[in-house]
Structure 1
Amino acid sequence: MNAAPNLLMSSSELLKFAPFFQQQISGTVRDQDSVPIPGVNVIVQGSSTGTMTNLDGVYSIYARVGDTLVFSYIGFKEFKIEVSDSFSGDITLETSVDALDEVVINAGYYNTTQRERTGNIVKVSAAEIENQPLINPLQALQGRMAGVEIVPRNSLPGTAPSIRIRGTNSLRDEGNYPLYIIDGIPINSTPVVSRSLSAGVDPLNTIGLENIKSIEVLKDADATAIYGSRGANGVILVTTKKGIPSTGTLEARVYSGISTMPNRIDLLNTEQYLQLRKAAFENDGIEPNNSNAYDLLVWDQNRYTDWQDYFIGGTSTMTDMNLQYSGGDERTYFRLGGSYQNQGTIYPTDFNYQKITGNFNLNHTDVSDKLNLNLSITYGVDINDLIGNTILLNQPFSIPPNAPELFTEEGRLNWEDWIAVGQNNPLSGYFNESRAQTNNLNSNLVLNYKILEGLSLKANAGYTYLDREENVKIPTYSYRPSVNRVHESDHTNVKRLSWILEPQLIYDTKLLDGHLNAIVGVSFQKSSEILKEQSGIGYVNEALIGNLEAAQTINNDDYFNREYKYNAVFGRIGYNYKDKYFLNLTGRRDGSSRFGPGNRFANFGAIGAAWIFSEEGFLTDGTSILSFGKLRGSYGITGNDQIGDYGYLDTYEVTRGPSGLYPTQLNNSSYSWETNRKFELALELGFFDDKLSIAGSWYRNRSSNQLVGFALPSMTGFTSVQANLPATVENKGLELELNAQPIKNNHFVWEASINFSLPNNALVSYPQLKSSPYSNTYQIGKPLNIVWLYQYGGLDPETGIYTIVDVNDDGRFDFNDRTEIEELGREYFGGFNNSFSFKNLNIQFLWQFVKQRGTLFSMDVGRIGNQREAAIEALNPNSVYQIPTQGVQGLIGYAYAQSTSFFYTDASFLRLKTLSLNYSLPSNWIESLKVKKASLFIQGQNLFTITPYKGLDPEVPQAGTSFANLRSLTAGIQLNF
C-alpha cells in the first residue's frame, strides 16, 4: 500500500506562493524625532488601495509580498518600500526642504508627485489658507502661485474676483474663465448674475476655507488636456478634507477680529477747497451766486468733514467658528462638520455678511479590498445684506468738505439743506434694503472596483445645485420727497443645476523596466440655468415692500432657461521608465450643444515628457552639488466653447401687442470651436540635498479661431452675430520659482520661497483688422487690454487749459488722432514667502509684488466737488495742472486730458499680504484637559503696502477711488480632542 500523500507544505514552499496572497500590514509612521504623524497617505503603488494614518500615526493596509508601499505627507519626503516577509510596517519619514516636493498632487483624473509630474501643476495646502479671514478661497492664492492672477474687483463681500491663468486667451471676457473642479465635479465658474454687483457673485463663496485640503492649479497642455475644451483657460482643483481612521477626533477652531480701511487719499481741506473755488470764478470772470456757488455763499465756510472717515472709516468685525468630527476604522471612516462666518462692514450701516457651511465625507473599503466608495457632500448658505449699498463706494471723494449734514437728528436723510441749493442728497437711495441668499450643494460619489490586479473600474458621479435669491426693497423715503416715487422692489432669482457621470477604466502595471498607467473614460454632463428678474411697483405701505403679490404692477424684466449638454471620450497613457524617463499621451473628443450640427464635436490632445537627468550615472557619484535635475516639456491643443447657448439658432420673443413675434437673434450655424495651442519647456533643479531648488518654465499659448459677437450694420436689424474671427491671441512668458531652507537644526527652521511671473499678451494675427469693427480696439503686436489715447499737448499758454494734439492737422479730434497706447496689464508679478519655526512657535509672512500702470481720480480743479490735495498746486503759475475753472472750455480740456496718458501713473506695489503667528501649547500643559492638540494663532491681512501710487488701492487702480482690500487682524484658537 502506498503511503498517504503529505498535504502539508514547508514554510519555504509556502513563500513561493506568498506573492499571490494579500496580507494585512500594520505599523506606525513617525518623524525623525520619533513623533507619530497623523494623516500620512499610504498607498499600494499602481493600485487604488490606500489609507491614512490615525492620530497615533498607526495605519493598516492589505498588500502582497513584492508590492511597493508609498508613504507621503506634507513637509516630508515621499518614502517607498517593497513589502517583504521581514517588513515590520514601521516607517520613519524625513523632512523635506520643499513642503510640496514629494507630496501626492491631484491632477484631476489621476494623481502624481512633484518629482514625477510632466505637466505644470501648482499646489497650495490647507495650512496656507485655512486661517485667512476671506470669503472666497481663491483670494487666498494671491501671491502664492506663478502665472496665476487673482484680482478682487471691489470690497463688497461675495463679488467675483478676476481670475486669469497665464493671461487672457479670448477676445470675449466670458471666454477666459478657468474650469472649477470640486472633489472631481466640474462647477460653472461664470459669476452668478446679480443686479447689485456688476461683476457677479463667485460660486465658490459658499465653501468654507477650513474644509479645504488643497487647491491645485493646472496650467499647461499636459496637465489640462485631459479636461479637453473645459481646460482651455486652466483648471482649478479644490479638494476638501477627508476623515482619518480613529476612535473619534473632534477638531474645534474659532477666530475673531476686525477689519479697517488701510489707506486714505490726501484730500483738500475746507480752506484749500474754497481757495480753489474762488480762484475759478476769478479766472472765469463770473460773479458767484447762490446757484453756481452755494458752497461759497450758502454753506458754512468754517465747516469741515473728512468724508473718508464718515463713509469708510468704520471698523468691521468678523467671527469664524468651525467644528469637525472624524472617526471610523481602516475600512470605514468619515468626517462631519460645519462652520459659521459673520462679517460686518466699514460703511455707515449695520448690515453684514453671514456664511453657514456643512460638510460630510465617507470612505469605505469592503472586506475583499476590491470595492472602494468615497462620498463627499458640501452645502453652503450665505446671506449678504451689503450688496445694495454700492452708492457708498465713491461718495467720500466727491462731496465738498464743507457740505452740510447728510442725516437729520432723527436719522432721516437731510433733504432740506440740499434741496435749498438745488441739489440732491448724495445718499439718495441710502435706505434701500438688500438681501441676497445663496444655497449651494455640491455632491460627489466615487466608486472604484478592482477587477484584476492592476485593472480597476471607476465611476465618478456628481450633482450640484445652486439657488440664489436677491431682493432689494426701495421705499419712497429713500429718495427726494418731491419726486413722488412709489414703493418698489427688485427681485432676481438664479438657479443652476448640473449632473455628471464619468465611468473610467484604469490599468496600472509594471512593463519592462518601467511602469505603465492608462485611463480610458467617458463623460456625460448636463447643466441648466434659469434666470428670472422681476420688479414690483406700487406697494400700499412699507411693510408690504418685497411681496410681489401686494404690488400694483409687476414687471418681468428678464427671463431665460438655458440647457447645456456636454459629452466626451478621453484617454491617457503614462509611462515611467526606470524612474528617469516619463511620457504622457492624452487625447479627448469633446461634444458640445453650443455648436450647430456638424460642428459639435472636436478632437484635442497633448503630449508631455520629462527626463530626470540627475538619476544618470554621471551625476550619481556623490560629488555633485546637484541633487535633483529634471527637464520637462509639453505640447497640446485644447478647445473653448465658453459662449452662450443656442447662438446658432434664430430666436424670437413675443411682442407686447397681441399675437406677434419679433426676432432677437440672427442664426449662424457654421461657427465652431475656439482652439488653444499650448507649448511649454521647463527646467527643475535641486542643490545641496534639495535645500535649494529652482524651477523655470517658459510657455507659449496661442488661441485662434476666436469666437466673438461679430458686429453688424444697423440696417440688418441686429447688433451682432456669433462667429469665428480670424484672430490669434498669444500669451507667452517666463515663470520662476525658488525654494530654500537656509537654516535647519533641532530647534530652528527657516524656509523661504519666491515666485516670479513675466507674462506677455499680444494679438499676433488678425487679417484685415483695419477694416474690421475692432480696428479701434486692438492692434497687432499689442496686448488685448490697451487704451488708445490722444497725445497730450500740455497747457495752453494763453488759457491755462489742458490741450491735445491734432496729429493729422485736419482741424478736428477723432480716433485718427489717438496714436498713443497705454497697456493696462501687469508687467510682472509674484510673491515672497517665509516661514520661521522655533520649537512650538511658527511665524509666516507673504509679500506680494506687482509691476503695473493705473489711473488717478479727477483733477478737474475749480468745480464743485473735492479733489486730491495736489490740486492746490494749480494756483502755482508753474503748475502742471490746468488753472482753476468751472467754464465749458475747462470741462472740455479736462475731458481731453482724461483721454491722454496725463493721468496714468505707476501703480506698482509691494504688499505684506499675510503675517501669521502660531503657537502650539506643549503637550504637558494640556494633558490634564484631555486635549490632544491646542494652538493659538494671530493672522494679519494686508498690513502694509509700499507704492508710489497716490490712489486708494493700487491693486484696483481704476480712477484712484476703487479699493478691494481691507486691513484685517484676527486671533483664534484650535483644539483637537
Structure 2
Amino acid sequence: MNASPFYYHFTYKPHLFVQQQITGIVKDQEGVPIPGVNVIVSGSSSGTITNLDGEYSITARIGDTLVYSYIGFKAFKVQVTETFSGDIILQATIDALEEVVINAGYYNTTRRERTGNISRVTAEDLELQPVVSPLQALQGRMAGVEVSPSTGVAGAAPSFQIRGRNSLRNARGNNGNLPLYIIDGVPVNSSEIQSIGGMLTASGADPLSTLNTANIESIEVLKDADATAIYGSRGANGVVLITTKQGSYSQEKLKIEGQVYSGFSQVPKFVDLMNTRQYIAMREEAFANDNVTPTESKAYDLLLWDQDRYTNWQKEFMGNNAEITNANLNFSGGNQQTSFRIGGTFHDEGSVFPGDLDYQKLGANLAFNHRSKDQRLSLFLQANYGIEKRNLFDNTSFVSQALNLPPNAPEIYDEEGNLNWENSTWNNPLATLYRTNDARTNSLLTNFGFSYLIVKGLTLKANFGYSTLNAEEVTKNPVRSYDPEIQYRIVPTSRHQLTNRDSWVTEPQLHYEFSLEKHNFNIITGLTFQERTDKVLSMRGEGFSNENLLGNLAAADDVKVTTDREIIYKYAAVFGRIGYNWNNKYFINLTGRRDGSSRFGPDKRFANFGAIGAAWIFTEEQWIADHIPLLSFGKLRGSYGTTGSDQIPDYGYLDTYEPTRGPNGLYPTQLTNRDYSWEINKKLEIGTELSFVNGIYNLGVSYYRNRSTNQLVGYPLPSITGFTSVQANLPAVVQNTGWEFEMDISPVTSKNFKWQLAANLTIPKNELLQFDNIDQTSYNQRFVVGQPLSIQRFYNYVGIDQETGLYQVEDVNGDGSYSFADQSVIVDFGRKFYGGINNTISFKNLSLQFLWEFINQKGYTSLAYVTTQPGEMGNKPVDHTNAWRQPGDQTNIQKNSQGINALLSDYYAKQSDLVVGDNSFWRLKTLSLSYKLPQGFINSLKMNQARIFIHGQNLWTFTDFEGLDPQTGNSLPQLRSLTAGLQFNF
C-alpha cells in the first residue's frame, strides 16, 4: 500500500520524544567564554543562559532547533542531532533586531519573529539607578511610554501612561488610563495607595516601590493590539511585564552577587526670589499705592519683624543633602535538575527637608526551579517580599513655605531652643515636624507553577499567584505643634488608615507546537480566574490626656470611623492564540479572549475581544538580498484588534446605601444603572524594522491609532436629584495616534573600544474625536470635540491696564463679568513630542553611559504658583521688582496693591494664558562611569568579576521654566543624585 505523503510526519518514532541533555560552552571567535548568552529551544518557552564560564545545559529532542543570542554577537541557530556536541562559537556583530529573547507574557518570542510592538529594558539599564520605583527608571528609555513624576518625595506614585490617555476618567481613585502591571506572571493592582498625610497626598504611594529594582531582569511594555489582546480587558491601556532574576541550571558552585552604593541627593535648582530689601520695598510700595497706613495687624512684616534679617527659606526648608545607602546581596546555585536564587536588599534615603525624615525599604527575593530527569516536568516558585517605611510630615508643605515666606520672617527657634512664635505674628513652619506621619507598607508577591510535557509539542502549564499588600499610616497632631496662645482651643488628634489588598490568580494553559515541513504552528489556550479584595479602614481619634498616648485609640476620648470599605472584584476569562509562520518568513498571529467582570450588571458581564497580527521578513526574499546588499534585516508588521476596559468603580450597577447617624436608618448613596457595558479600545498599528551592515545600524518605525469608544464615566447629575453622578456609557470617542521612532547604532566596535548609541522619539496626538450632544452635558466645560483631553481653558490676557496698572483679561461676550463663556483660549498641556538619547562608550575596562531625556510641552509658568498678588504679604520671584508703576511701563506684573480690585484682577489673570509657558526641557537623566577591576587583581581576591562605579541622576536640566521643575511644577522637584559603589560576584 502506498504511503500517504504525510505518513512520515505522523509516524511514531520514540527517539523523537526522548529528551536529550545538551551541555556545552559558548565562546567568541577568540576562544573567550561568553557569560549571559540566551539559549532557547526555538518555538518554545524553554531556555537557559550561560554561566560566567560560558557553560550551559538545556534539554531538547532530536530535530529541535537551538537559538543562541547575545547582544554584540550574531545570533546562531543549530539543529539538534545525535552527534551534536553543544559547543558553539558566536561571531561578533551588533544585531539588536535579530534574536534577543522577549517576554510576551504567556509566551516568549524574539525581536526577529515578533508581530506585536514590545519595548524592553534590561537589568543593565536599571540596576545602577538610585530610584525607589522601577517605573522611574524607564523615563526617556521607551518610545510611547510617558512617566511623569508629581513630586520628588521618595515612594510617591508617578503618572504612567502607554500611548496616551484613552479614557475621560482621569481623577484620582477613578482613573481609566492605568496599564496592567504583571510581576513574574502575577497581576498587581496598579492604582496608587491613598495617603492621609504628608507630601504624598497629591499622588498617593507607589504600589511597586517595595520591589527591588536591582533584582529585575527585564521590563517589557506591550503596546499594540497583537501584544496586549491576549490579556483582554486588563490590557486595554497597555501591559507592563516585570521579570525578576532567576538562578541557572548546571551552576556547579554557589554564586554570590553583591552591589553596594552610597551617596546623596539634593534639590537641583532654587527659584530666584526677592531679598529682604526688595521685599520691604514691594510691601511699602503696595501700602503707598493703596494710600493706606501700615498697622501692626496688617503689616507685622514691616512694623514688628526685623527689617534687616534675611533668610533663604529655600535652603532652610529643602536645602539639606539627603543621604542614600543601598545594598543588595544574592546567592544562586543549582545543578542539572534544580536551581535557586535567594537574596535581599536594603535601601535608606534621607530627606532634603529639616527634621528626622527618611524613607527605608527592606526586601527579600526567592526563585526556585526544578525539573525532572527526563525533563518532562518543571516546577517553579517565585517570591518577592518588601517592607517600606516612610516618616513624612503632615499638613503644611515645606516647599510652599520655602517659596512664600517673607525673607525677613523671624528666627525658627528662640534663645532657649524652643519654637519661636514671635508673639503670635506667624505660624512657625517647623511646628509641622511635631505633626508626625508614619507609614509602613508590607508587600508579598508569590507565584507557583508547573509545566508538564504530555507528548511531543503538547505541554500543560499552570501558575498560581498570590499577592498581598498591607499599608498602615498614622498621623499625630499634638497640642504643642500650635502657638501657645491658642493651644487651649486645640484638641489633640490622631488619624489612622489601614489599607489591605489581597489578590489571587490561577491560569491553567495548554501549549501545542508542531511543524509540517515549512509550516510552523504555536497554539496556546487557557483560562484565567482572578479575585481581588481591597479594604480601607480610616479612623480619627480625638482628645488624648497625654501626648505620649497619641496614636493609641483606646486612650482617645472619642473615636470616629471615617471610612470602612471592602470591595471584592472578580474576573474570569478564556483565551487563545494561534501563531503560524511559513519558513520563518511570513508570520500570522490570531488572538482571542472572552472576559467576565464583576463590575458590570448580570446582563453585561461578558464580552469578547481579539486581534490579528502579521509580519513579513522581506529580507528572506532572494530578490531583496540581491538588490539591497547593505540591508541585513527587514520586516514589515501590522496588527488590528480590540481590547476592553472595566476600570470603573466596583458595584456601580447597584443601588447602595449607608446607615444614618441615628439608629435603624439607611439613606441612598448611589443610583443604579444595570445597562452600562464595556469600554472598547480598537487598536491599529503598522511598522517596520530595518537593520543595515550586519546589524550596525538599526531602525524601527511604528504608526499607531487607538480609538476608545463607549466611554465609561460617572455621568454628572444636577444636585436636585440628590446624587452627584450615575455610572453610564457616553457616546464619546477618544483617539490616540502617533509615530514612534527607535534607533540604535554601533559606530565603532573593536576589541578595545565600543560606542553604542540608542535613541527614541515619539510624536503623539490625542483627540476627542466624537462626543454626541456634548453641549448638553457638564463635559462641555472641560472638553472640546476635535481637541486633546489634556487641554486647559483660559481667559485671554490682554496686558496691563495703563490707567489702573492692573491685569486685564478679555470680556469676550461683553456682559461686564467673567465666566466660562469668556475662557476663549484653549491650550494643550499634553506632550508634543518626547524621547531619549542613550550613549554607551567603552574603552578596555572603562565604560561611560549617559541618557538624555527630552520633552516638548506647554505648562504653567512659575507665576501660576505665586499664591498672593503683587504687593501682598509673601515673597515673590525677583522679576516682581519690575511691577507696573506708571503709564508706559512695559511689564507683565501689575502694580503692587492689596486692594480688592487688585485681588480680583490677579485672580482672573492667574486663570488666563498669562500663566502659560513653554515647559519643554532637556535633562541629563543618568550619567554612569564604571571601571572593571583587572582580572588578575580579581583572581587574587578569588572573585569572578568586580567593578566600581559613579552614577549621577538628574544632573542638569535645560529649560525656560523658571520654577523648581518643569514636570513637578513647584512641588518638590526630582532630586539630583550622586552615588558611588561597587558591584561584585564570586
Do they superpose with TM above 0.5? yes
**Alignment partners' CA distance in 2, 1:473 and 1:759:** 45
Equivalent positions of 1:439-454 (< 5 A) are 439-454=442-457
The correspondence for 2:266, drawn from 251, 256, 260, is: 260
Partner of 1:912: 924
**Alignment partners' CA distance in 1, 2:715 and 2:16:** 65
The correspondence for 2:377, drawn from 371, 377, 383, is: 371
Is 1:664 aligned with 2:673?
A: no
State the SS of the aligned residue for 1:758. Answer: strand
Residue 643 to residue 20, structure 1, CA distance change in 2 (3 Å): closer
Instruction: Give the superposition deviation at 1:410.
Output: 4.3
**Alignment partners' CA distance in 2, 1:894 and 1:20:** 80
**Alignment partners' CA distance in 2, 1:112 and 1:293:** 70
Equivalent positions of 1:821-836 (< 5 A) are 821-836=826-841
Deviations 1:678-714 (A, max 9, x none): 0011111111112111111111101011111111121
The RMSD of aligned alpha carbons is 1.6
| Amino acid in structure 2 at the alignment position of 1:232 | A
**Alignment partners' CA distance in 2, 1:18 and 1:497:** 47
CA contact (8 A) 1:76 1:102 kept: no
Partner of 1:975: 984
State the SS of the aligned residue for 2:434. Answer: coil
Instruction: Give the superposition deviation at 1:84.
Output: 2.3
Instruction: Give the superposition deviation at 1:811.
Output: 2.1
Is 1:438 aligned with 2:435?
A: no
State the SS of the aligned residue for 2:74. Answer: coil
Partner of 2:428: 425
State the SS of the aligned residue for 2:466. Answer: strand
Residue 36 to residue 267, structure 1, CA distance change in 2 (3 Å): same
Partner of 1:73: 70
The correspondence for 2:144, drawn from 144, 147, 150, is: 147
Equivalent positions of 1:553-592 (< 5 A) are 553-592=558-597
Unaligned runs of 5+ in 1: 1-15
Deviations 1:815-872 (A, max 9, x none): 1111111111111110000000111111100000011112123272111100001111
Partner of 1:46: 43
Deviations 1:473-516 (A, max 9, x none): 11111122314212211100000001110000000111341311
Residue 449 to residue 400, structure 1, CA distance change in 2 (3 Å): same
Is 1:504 aligned with 2:501?
A: no
Partner of 2:239: 235
**Alignment partners' CA distance in 1, 2:949 and 2:394:** 34
State the SS of the aligned residue for 2:280. Answer: helix
Deviations 1:3-62 (A, max 9, x none): xxxxxxxxxxxxx97545443322101233322223333222234543332332212233
**Alignment partners' CA distance in 2, 1:836 and 1:387:** 43
Instruction: Give the superposition deviation at 1:809.
Output: 1.4
CA contact (8 A) 1:48 1:448 kept: no
CA contact (8 A) 2:770 2:785 kept: yes
**Alignment partners' CA distance in 1, 2:416 and 2:228:** 60
| Amino acid in structure 1 at the alignment position of 2:263 | G
Is 1:270 aligned with 2:273?
A: no
Equivalent positions of 1:352-751 (< 5 A) are 352-388=358-394, 391-417=397-423, 419=424, 421=425, 423-481=426-484, 482-483=486-487, 484-621=489-626, 624-751=629-756
Is 1:885 aligned with 2:897?
A: yes
Quick check: 368-377 or 232-241, which moved more?
368-377
State the SS of the aligned residue for 2:626. Answer: coil
Deviations 1:104-161 (A, max 9, x none): 1000001111111100000000000111101011100000000100011112211110
Is 1:194 aligned with 2:206?
A: no
CA contact (8 A) 2:153 2:972 kept: no
Partner of 2:779: 774
CA contact (8 A) 1:257 1:969 kept: yes
Residue 672 to residue 272, structure 1, CA distance change in 2 (3 Å): same
Instruction: Give the superposition deviation at 1:322.
Output: 0.5
Is 1:950 aligned with 2:962?
A: yes
Instruction: Give the superposition deviation at 1:389.
Output: 6.4
Residue 96 to residue 165, structure 1, CA distance change in 2 (3 Å): farther
Deviations 1:211-258 (A, max 9, x none): 000000000000000000000000000000000232110111100001
Partner of 1:204: 208
CA contact (8 A) 1:76 1:99 kept: no
Residue 100 to residue 46, structure 1, CA distance change in 2 (3 Å): closer
| Amino acid in structure 2 at the alignment position of 1:885 | S
State the SS of the aligned residue for 1:925. Answer: helix
**Alignment partners' CA distance in 2, 1:221 and 1:409:** 68
**Alignment partners' CA distance in 1, 2:114 and 2:459:** 22
Is 1:329 aligned with 2:335?
A: yes
State the SS of the aligned residue for 1:393. Answer: helix
Partner of 2:90: 93
CA contact (8 A) 1:940 1:969 kept: yes
**Alignment partners' CA distance in 1, 2:856 and 2:440:** 37
**Alignment partners' CA distance in 1, 2:381 and 2:396:** 41
CA contact (8 A) 1:319 1:343 kept: yes
Is 1:341 aligned with 2:347?
A: yes
**Alignment partners' CA distance in 2, 1:632 and 1:477:** 67
**Alignment partners' CA distance in 1, 2:63 and 2:966:** 59
CA contact (8 A) 2:104 2:227 kept: yes
TM-score, normalization: structure 1?
A: 0.96
**Alignment partners' CA distance in 2, 1:496 and 1:326:** 31
Instruction: Give the superposition deviation at 1:330.
Output: 2.2
Instruction: Give the superposition deviation at 1:96.
Output: 4.4
| Amino acid in structure 1 at the alignment position of 2:448 | L
Partner of 2:973: 964
Instruction: Give the superposition deviation at 1:670.
Output: 0.6
Deviations 1:77-99 (A, max 9, x none): 33210112442211122344255
Deviations 1:395-446 (A, max 9, x none): 11100111111333444332234x1x4x433445331111111000000112
Unaligned runs of 5+ in 2: 1-12
State the SS of the aligned residue for 2:804. Answer: coil
Quick check: 906-915 or 873-882, which moved more?
873-882
CA contact (8 A) 2:186 2:505 kept: yes
| Amino acid in structure 2 at the alignment position of 1:914 | T
**Alignment partners' CA distance in 2, 1:567 and 1:798:** 69
Residue 364 to residue 409, structure 1, CA distance change in 2 (3 Å): farther
Residue 409 to residue 761, structure 1, CA distance change in 2 (3 Å): farther
Instruction: Give the superposition deviation at 1:949.
Output: 1.1
Residue 71 to residue 387, structure 1, CA distance change in 2 (3 Å): farther
Is 1:116 aligned with 2:113?
A: yes
**Alignment partners' CA distance in 1, 2:856 and 2:21:** 57
State the SS of the aligned residue for 2:397. Answer: helix
**Alignment partners' CA distance in 1, 2:80 and 2:341:** 30
**Alignment partners' CA distance in 1, 2:46 and 2:164:** 39
CA contact (8 A) 1:276 1:875 kept: no
TM-score, normalization: structure 2?
A: 0.95
Residue 69 to residue 271, structure 1, CA distance change in 2 (3 Å): same
State the SS of the aligned residue for 2:392. Answer: coil
Quick check: 47-56 or 906-915, which moved more?
47-56
**Alignment partners' CA distance in 1, 2:86 and 2:265:** 50
Partner of 1:220: 224
**Alignment partners' CA distance in 2, 1:22 and 1:360:** 28
Q: How many residues align?
A: 957
**Alignment partners' CA distance in 1, 2:91 and 2:840:** 19
State the SS of the aligned residue for 1:618. Answer: helix
CA contact (8 A) 2:393 2:433 kept: no
CA contact (8 A) 1:157 1:386 kept: no
Quick check: 499-508 or 688-697, which moved more?
688-697
